[in-house]
Structure formats: structure tokens, C-alpha cells
Amino acid sequence: MSYRVIAPQRADRYRVTVDDYIHYQRYGYLIVRDLVPLEEVEELKRHAMDLLYGRIAIPGIDPPPPDATEEQLLGRFTRVHMLHRVDPVAERFLLHPRILDVLEALIGPDVLALQTMLFFNPPGKGGQGWHQDAYYITTYPDTLIGAWLAIDLADEENGCLWVAPGSHCEPIYPDPNPERGYVHADGAFADLETVENVSHLDDEINTLAKVARKYEWVPVVLEPGSVVFFHGHLLHRSYPNRSHDRWRRAFVSHYCNARSWVPWNHGIPYEGDSANYQHILARGTTHLPYAKPRFGTPCAALEPPEVIKKGTPLRMMGSESGEMQPVAQVPSGRPTEVRALAWDPNDQTWRTRKETQSGGQRA
């Protein structure tokens, strides 16, 4: 049986090029410029500031005191996690169709939306040391990917993301505490060292920095509306915002293939041994449980795509009957001649093509 997911057709659908795909596979990240229209990014920025100033009430976020100063308001939080579970705007950006278009090509066709983080990073704030996201968000098989949407221009001065291209080929370096779990089978590697203080800004304390030093480090400078997609194993980091007056706001979401098993719910308890049922099916289908979006953002969980589960899949070397064709090494004038054999159902034996053509006489 073949499996073909017909993605929803839209006039503004983003199509990934083969070179984009190769870049992602080779270096572990892909920058897609101008992916989200600027007016939508402006709306997200206004919404983020309304949250910070307490102009909108969001379940789980305490309102600011009525007499809070401007400084107190702006310093309320540097980032907010899992906003999409309580806020329709965050859900809309988690399931943004053009972001999903890229994910469908990179890790799909079946995509599960797991997590959101809204970063504010005003001057003097923010920054996260070297880490690999699949150290924190575990999926089996491991198919994690992040999508980092710039709300402001992000550059070296205000604390853009930095990546170590090619480091996504590294395994996930585990924590010394086995209670924290492994991404790979316990004991599968002969020489996989544990790492300490992952995400710490100081490279002398964060021992994953030693692995990062094996690679070149590249700043990911992004204009508002551009998105960098990055592999769950890619070593990456950011520095605090060193500018005097420029914020570095960003909306970051994580996804995996919807057929991965996900024992992760941002530290929030869940029932059973996997939290898949808590995460939203964004594209494609899955045999595993999934959630519907709480605020009705269109996605595969609400509008299942057309899936064709019939047809004749291509065979890799099988004969017409579906059996595998053995090959024979035949002594000849040349050093060794390799010939494909075909099954003769009358004689119940394998013959070379030449024998078949000459009526079954062995060559």
C-alpha cells in the first residue's frame, strides 16, 4: 500500500526547494526569509506588548499591580512558555500555515505541534548558553525541530541566535543524572560523555561548549517575519541583548513528526506514558493520539487532509511476483559477470534472462 498525504492547497503555500532541504540536512538549520507577512508580525508584537503591560488577561499570568511603574511593567518577564494553551493569538502563530508548509517538507508529512515560547529580551536581558533542544524535549523516534520567528530585527548586538552548522550530526549529550532520561538507548555509545550546566551562558561552566568548539559558530541575523528552522540536535545559543534601546522579541515553536512518541509535556503532568494526546496535530495524520487546537485555529486536527492509502508502491529489486530477485556471479571472459535471475514458475527455478529468452536452456 502506498501512503500519500495531499497537503491543503493555498495560493500562498510556501514551497521548499531541494537546495533548502539539502541545506537543512547538511547543516542542521534553514533560514526562510520573509516567511510570515509583516502585518501579522506587527499584530504579534502589539499582542506581546499588551500582555506585558497587562492590557490583556491571560489565565496563569498574574496581572500587574495597578500602580506598577513603566519600568516594573517592562521587566515583568523575559519570556513566556506554552502560551498557545491559553491564548488564541499564540495558537495561531504556532499553527501558522506558512511555517507548517516548511515543516511538512523538512520533517513531515505528519507534523505535531508541541511547544511555544514568546521571547521579549529587552536591552540587557535574555541569552541562553549552548544547548541541544532534544536534550529537553524528547521524542521517539527523535524528530524534533524548532522554528524561530523574528518579531524584531535580531542581530549580534541585540542577541540573535548563534548556531554551530553541522553539529546536528552529534548525538544528544546526556545529563549525568540518569533520572533525566536518555534520547539514545542507555549504553548504546562507547564514549558518549555526559554534560553539565547545559544552557548556562558561561562556556567555562557549560560543558557542552567543549563540543561546540569543534565547529564554526554562525550568527543567525534575521529581519522581522523571517524564520530559522533548526534541528533538535543542533548546538545553538544566544547572548544577552547588548543594545541600549532595541528589543529582541521572537516567537519560537517546537514540533516533531506526528508519528513520534512524546513523553514530554513541558513538565506538566499527563496521563499514561506519553503526552501525544496533549499536542496538536498540525499537518498530515497519525496512528497516535493528538489534541485539537483549543481556539479553533485551522489545522489537520480539525480539517484532516486527503490521504491516499492505495496504489502500487515501487519495488526495490523485486520480481513481478513481488519476490526478491537473486543475482548470480557467472564465470565468463571478464573477471566476474553479475547477472540478475528471474523466477521460472514452470520449472520452479531461477534462470538468467538469457536462459529465459532461449526457452529455458541453461547458458
Positions that interact with ligand AKG (CB under 6 A): 119, 126, 128, 133, 146, 161, 236, 238, 250, 252
For the CB of residue 104, give the shortest distance to ligand AKG in the complex, in Å.
20
* 306 Cβ contact partners less than 8 Å away, ≥ 6 residues apart: 5, 6
* Residues with Cβ within 8 Å of residue 76, at least 6 apart in sequence: 52, 54, 64
**Minimum CB distance to ligand AKG, residue 131 (Å):** 6
Nearer to ligand AKG, 91 or 133 (CB): 133
Nearest to ligand AKG of 228, 300 (CB atom): 228
Query: With respect to ligand AKG, which residue has the nearer C-beta, 231 or 236?
Result: 236
Question: d(Cα 259, Cα 271) in Å, to the nearest integer?
Answer: 19
* CA distances to 130, 141, 167, 241, 268 from 217, in Å: 11, 28, 10, 18, 34
Take residue 32 and report the three cell numbers written for it: 526562510
3-state secondary structure of 154: strand
Could you give the CA distance from residue 158 to residue 155 in angstroms, rounded to a whole number?
6
| Chain residue at closest Cβ approach to ligand AKG | 238
Q: Least distance in Å: CB of 133 to ligand AKG? A: 5
Least distance between ligand AKG and beta carbon 148 (Å): 6
CB of 302 to ligand AKG, least distance (A): 27
Paired residues of 82 in beta bridges: none
Q: What are 254's three cell numbers?
A: 517546537
Q: Which is nearer to ligand AKG, 98 or 231 (CB)?
A: 231
Burial class (CB in 10 A: 0-12, 13-18, 19+), 154: buried
Judged by CB, which is closer to ligand AKG: 29, or 290?
29
